[in-house]
Structure 1
Amino acid sequence: MSRGGESPERPLRVLIVSHYFPPHVGGIENVAHQQARQLARCGVDVTVLTSGSMRGPDPVSDADGFRVVRVPAWNGFERRLGVPFPVFSPSLLRQAGRWAGWADIVHVHDSFYLSSWAAGLAAAIRRTPLVMTQHVAMVDHPATLVRWVQSAVYATAGRALLRRSRHTAVLNSSVASFVRDLGAPEDAVVHLPNGVDRERFRPAATPAEKVRLRERWGLPADAVLVLFVGRPVSKKGYDILLDAASTEYELVFVGDKPTRAVPRDGVHHLGPMDPTELAEVYRACDIFALPSTAEGFPLTVQEAMASGLPVVTTDDAGYAPYALDRSLLALVERNADAVRAVLRQLASDTGRCAAMSAYSVAYAARHFSWSAHVEHLLRLYGETRGATPGAVAWEVCR
C-alpha cells in the first residue's frame, strides 16, 4: 500500500489514530469519530486505527463512509484502575505500518497511548506527514504511580511525537503551554475547538418533551436534575459531584457505572449511552455539572451548551481563548462545597438558569461547528503536505 504514483485526482487519504473509538464512550473517541465522519463527507478517504477485543482482530468495517481497523487490545487498566490505557497486541505495529504507508496524512489523537507511539513510528519510517491533536495536559491523578507514569511517558514518547508533528491542535491555552514545554514548535501549535452536532444536541422543544423524556428514562418528573456525563473516575470529578449531593436537586450520571455503586436517594446511574440516547438525557435535565481536571474544553460541556443547559464546571485558566462570560457559565473551585453552593443557588433561581440556558445555546451556535472544525483541519492537512488538499471538494460539505 504505497503512495507511489498517486494521481492528483485521487482523494486525500487520512489515517486517524485513536486508542478508543465508538462504541467505547469518551471524549477523545467522540472527537475522532466526528472528524472521520465529516472528512468522509468532504470526499476524504479515511481509515481509523483503534483498539478492539482480545478475542481476535475484528474485520475491517465501513461505517459512515470510512474504514475502522480494530487491533486486539487488553483493557484491564480501565476496568480495574479507571485508567483508559489499552495494551495492544503486537499486530499493532504491522497495522500501523501498513496504513501509514497507505495514507497521505497520519492524524494521531493524544501522545500518551501505545497506538499513537506505533503510528508515529510508522509515519516516520514511511515518511508520511504527522498531525496531532493533544487533548489534555498532565492529569492530577490520585495515584502516585499513575502520575509518575504520565510524567515518564510525556517526557519520552510524548516529547518525540510532539516534536515531529507538523501541526499540533489543542483545545485551550493550558494544553498549548504544555505541548510547547515538551518541545512542540511554537508555530506548529494551533487552537482548534471541537464542534457539536446541533441537530442532535438541542434544547427540549416544549416542556411536554422534557416530561416525556424523563418518563422514558425513569427520571422524576418534578425534580431539578443535575447531569454528569463521563467515566466515574477522579479526573472527571465523579466523587466530587457525588459528595455535593443535596435535597434541593437530584444527580443523574451517564457513563460506565461504578463497580461499587451504593444505591442512594436522589442519585440516578443510567449507564453508558449512544449519542442519540445521550442527547435525549441532556434535554431531560436542567443543569450540567462536570468538576473535572485538565480537560481542556470537554466535548460534554459543548454538548450541554448546545442542549441549552446551564453549565457548572471547574475554573481553568486554559478557558481564556474562549472568552466565556463568567456570569452566565459557572466556573468554580474543584471541591464539593463550591459545587454544592452554586448548584443550590441555580436550583432555586429559575431566572438565572434561563439566562444561562439562553447564553449556552447562543454560544454553541456561534462557536461549535463541525463544518468549521473540518474546514480548518483540511487547511492544516494542505499546509502539512505543502499544497492544497488536492481533489477534496470542500463545497460538498457546505
Structure 2
Amino acid sequence: MTDELLAAPAFPGRILLVCHYYAPHVGGIESVVQAEAQRLAALGHDVTVLTSADRSSVRDEGGVRVVRVRAWNGFEHRVGVPFPVFSPRLLAVAVRLARRADIVHVHDCFYLSSWSAGLAARLAGRPLVLSQHVAVVEHTSILVRAIQNLVYGTMGRLLVRRARRVFVINEYVARFVAGLGAGPQKVVVLANGVDQERYRPAGDEAERELLRKEHNLPLDRPLALFVGRLVPKKGIDIALAARTGEFDLVVVGSGDAAALSGLPGVHVLGALQPDRVAELFRACDVFVLPTTGEVFPLVVKEAMSSGLPVVTTDEPDYRAPGIEHAALALVPRDAAAVGAAIRRTIADEQVRNRMSECSRAYAQAHFSWSEHLELLREHYRAAAESSP
C-alpha cells in the first residue's frame, strides 16, 4: 500500500465511532477505538466519538471530537463488570450525532451505547457497521453469564443482523457472530494494529534497569508480566498459582488489586496508561496471559511488538498458517503448565532470545495499522454506497 492511497479522505467523510469507554479509561477496546479515531482523523476524516464519563462533556482530543454522556459505572467498580449505565440523554445525543454522520461504527454489541447508536442509525437513515471484539466472557458468577447470554441473544443479535458489516478480530469471534445471525458475506476479519514505536524492545540492559527502578521493581529477579483485567477470563488466578521462587510476577490491570497486595513475589501496579505499560514490556523478561477464548488479544500483540517472549493459552486458532510458533509458548490453561513454560523461558537465554526475535519480526509483518485502516475504509465505503 502506498502513502498516496491513504493521503486523502474518501467517502464517507464523517464517521461516528461509538464505544462504552474511551481513553483515558484503560482497556483494550478503548485503545483500539482511540487509535482508529486519531488515525482516521489524521487521514482527513471528520471523526466523532460517542462514549461515557462521570460528567457530560464535548471536547477536541487529538483531532477527534469526543462527546461524553454522563453514566454510572458502579458495576465495574463493585463486581468487575465494565457496563456503564448511561443518562437518559444518551439516545437523543446519539440521534443528533448520527444525523450529521455518513456512517455509524459501533464497537461491541453488548452495551447501552451500542444499542442506542444502532437505533439512532436507523432513525437517522445512516448505515451501521459493528466491530465485535469478544465472544461470551467466562465469569465465575452464574448471574453474569446468564445476563451475557440474554443480552447477546436479544439486543446483540439485533445489532449483528442490522449491521452492514461486522468486523471481528479473529476466526473465533467470527464463529460467535455467525451464531448470532451474521451472514458470511458481511463478516470481515479485521486484525488490530500495534503502535510499533511505542511498543518496542529495550535498547539495552541499562534501559531495562532504569525502567525497573522507575517502577520500583527488583533488579536482581526474573520478572514475568501479566497485563489484563483481574478477572478469571484473563487467567490472573492461574498466573498467581504458577509463580514460584524462580521468578516474580508483575501485575498490571484494573480490578480487586487489594486482594493481591502483600503476596510474596507479586508486584501489583494497578491500571496504567499505555505509555507506562509499554515501559513494563521493556523492563520484564516474559509476558504471561493464561486467557480463554482469545487469539492475539491486543496485549499479546503489544508484548510481541516489544520483543517479549509470550506464554499464553494454546487456543486452536493459533494453529492458523503463517504463525511462527517459535514466537509463542502455547500451553494448557493450568498453573503447572504455565509455570513450567515461564521457568523454561527464563532459564534458557537462547530460547528467550529466539522467542524475542520471532515475536518482534511477526509483529512487524502482521500487526499493521495501515493495513487495518485501508481495509476499514474500503468497507466503510462499500457499506455507505449500498445504503438506500
Which TM bucket (shorter chain)? Answer: over 0.9
Q: How far did residue 92 of structure 1 move?
A: 0.8
Matches within 5 A, 1:293-372: 293-321=292-320, 323-372=322-371
Matches within 5 A, 1:173-188: 173-188=171-186
Matches within 5 A, 1:39-118: 39-53=40-54, 56-57=55-56, 59-118=57-116
Indicate conservation of the 8 Å contact 2:17/2:50, yes or no: yes
Supply the distance in 2 between the matched residues of 1:42 and 1:9 (Cα, whole angstroms). 9
Supply the distance in 2 between the matched residues of 1:10 and 1:192 (Cα, whole angstroms). 20
Q: How far did residue 97 of structure 1 move?
A: 0.8
Unaligned runs of 5+ residues in structure 1 are: 1-7, 388-398
Q: Match of 2:221?
A: 223
Supply the distance in 2 between the matched residues of 1:85 and 1:61 (Cα, whole angstroms). 23
Q: Name the CA shift for 1:204/1:19 in 2 (closer, same or farther; >3 Å).
A: same
Supply the distance in 2 between the matched residues of 1:91 and 1:345 (Cα, whole angstroms). 54
Indicate conservation of the 8 Å contact 2:172/2:294, yes or no: no
Q: Name the CA shift for 1:44/1:321 in 2 (closer, same or farther; >3 Å).
A: farther
Q: Name the CA shift for 1:9/1:15 in 2 (closer, same or farther; >3 Å).
A: closer
Q: Secondary structure at the match of 1:24?
A: coil
One-letter code of the match for 1:117?
A: W
Unaligned runs of 5+ residues in structure 2 are: 1-8
Q: How far did residue 141 of structure 1 move?
A: 1.2
Q: Name the CA shift for 1:180/1:44 in 2 (closer, same or farther; >3 Å).
A: same
Q: Does 1:36 align with 2:37?
A: yes
Supply the distance in 2 between the matched residues of 1:193 and 1:321 (Cα, whole angstroms). 14
Q: Secondary structure at the match of 2:294?
A: coil
Supply the distance in 2 between the matched residues of 1:208 and 1:282 (Cα, whole angstroms). 15
Q: How far did residue 9 of structure 1 move?
A: 9.2
Supply the distance in 2 between the matched residues of 1:154 and 1:235 (Cα, whole angstroms). 18
Q: How far did residue 247 of structure 1 move?
A: 0.7
Supply the distance in 2 between the matched residues of 1:10 and 1:170 (Cα, whole angstroms). 22
1:255 aligns with one of 250, 253, 258: 253
Identical aligned pairs, as a percentage? 54
Indicate conservation of the 8 Å contact 1:244/1:340, yes or no: yes
Indicate conservation of the 8 Å contact 2:300/2:310, yes or no: yes
Supply the distance in 2 between the matched residues of 1:352 and 1:251 (Cα, whole angstroms). 20
Supply the distance in 2 between the matched residues of 1:189 and 1:99 (Cα, whole angstroms). 26
Larger mean Cα displacement after TM superposition, 102-111 or 273-282: 273-282
Instruction: Please give the per-residue CA displacement for 1:96-122, whole angstroms capped at 9, x wherever unaligned.
Output: 111111111111111111110110011
Indicate conservation of the 8 Å contact 1:172/1:319, yes or no: no
Q: Secondary structure at the match of 1:269?
A: strand
Q: Secondary structure at the match of 1:190?
A: strand
Q: Secondary structure at the match of 1:19?
A: coil
Q: Does 1:121 align with 2:122?
A: no
Q: How far did residue 370 of structure 1 move?
A: 1.0
Supply the distance in 2 between the matched residues of 1:348 and 1:186 (Cα, whole angstroms). 46
Indicate conservation of the 8 Å contact 2:99/2:126, yes or no: yes
One-letter code of the match for 1:27?
A: G
Q: Secondary structure at the match of 2:161?
A: helix
Indicate conservation of the 8 Å contact 1:27/1:299, yes or no: yes
Q: Match of 2:288?
A: 289
Indicate conservation of the 8 Å contact 2:257/2:270, yes or no: no
Supply the distance in 1 between the matched residues of 2:12 and 2:80 (Cα, whole angstroms). 40
One-letter code of the match for 1:15?
A: L
Q: Secondary structure at the match of 2:81?
A: coil
TM value normalised by structure 1: 0.92
Supply the distance in 1 between the matched residues of 2:318 and 2:121 (Cα, whole angstroms). 32
Supply the distance in 1 between the matched residues of 2:66 and 2:232 (Cα, whole angstroms). 31
Q: Match of 1:395?
A: none
Q: Secondary structure at the match of 2:226?
A: strand
Supply the distance in 1 between the matched residues of 2:145 and 2:376 (Cα, whole angstroms). 32
One-letter code of the match for 1:23?
A: P
Matches within 5 A, 1:97-246: 97-246=95-244
Indicate conservation of the 8 Å contact 2:104/2:117, yes or no: yes
Larger mean Cα displacement after TM superposition, 315-324 or 362-371: 315-324
Indicate conservation of the 8 Å contact 1:215/1:221, yes or no: yes
Supply the distance in 2 between the matched residues of 1:221 and 1:336 (Cα, whole angstroms). 25
Supply the distance in 1 between the matched residues of 2:267 and 2:296 (Cα, whole angstroms). 25
Give the alignment's Cα RMSD to 1 decimal: 1.6
Q: Secondary structure at the match of 2:307?
A: coil
Indicate conservation of the 8 Å contact 1:135/1:295, yes or no: no
Indicate conservation of the 8 Å contact 1:228/1:253, yes or no: yes
Q: How far did residue 259 of structure 1 move?
A: 3.7
Supply the distance in 2 between the matched residues of 1:61 and 1:164 (Cα, whole angstroms). 30
One-letter code of the match for 1:33?
A: Q
Q: Secondary structure at the match of 2:52?
A: strand
Instruction: Please give the per-residue CA displacement for 1:124-171, whole angstroms capped at 9, x wherever unaligned.
Output: 111111111100111221111111111111110000000111111111
Q: How far did residue 320 of structure 1 move?
A: 4.3
Q: How far did residue 327 of structure 1 move?
A: 3.7
Q: Name the CA shift for 1:304/1:9 in 2 (closer, same or farther; >3 Å).
A: closer
